[in-house]
Amino acid sequence: MQFDKEVDASGLNCPLPILRCKKGLSDMAAQQVLKIIATDPGSVKDFKAFCVQTGHELLQLDEHEKSFTFYIKKRVS
């Protein structure tokens, strides 16, 4: 999947992956896609809830052995 920016939150535990995601999205334009990599198993439910609460769109979630890759499209303001 194509993306506009990548954030690596590997090795970080809640709430740091979400905070890195928020920071990454803050300087992006609407409809751009952020790729974020996390290793915290709780990040799956955290990112789903984050997208529901903020209006950003979780386009795709890829699960690998011990990591998760999220593609999040920034909402239109």
Residue among 69, 57, 62, 2 at smallest CA distance from 30: 57
Among residues 14, 16, 58, 61, the one annotated as catalytic is: 14
21 is catalytic: no
Annotation: CATH topology of 5-73: Translation Initiation Factor IF3 (3.30.110)
List, for residues 18-46, the tens digit of each pLDDT value. Answer: 999 999 999 999 999 999 999 999 999 99
pLDDT band at 77 (very low <50, low <70, confident <90, very high): confident
Residues contacting 6, CB < 8 A, separation 6+ = 34, 35, 36, 37
Average pLDDT over residues 60-75: 96
The structure's pTM equals 0.95
- pLDDT surpassing 80 at residue 50: yes
- pLDDT surpassing 80 at residue 6: yes
- pLDDT surpassing 80 at residue 57: yes
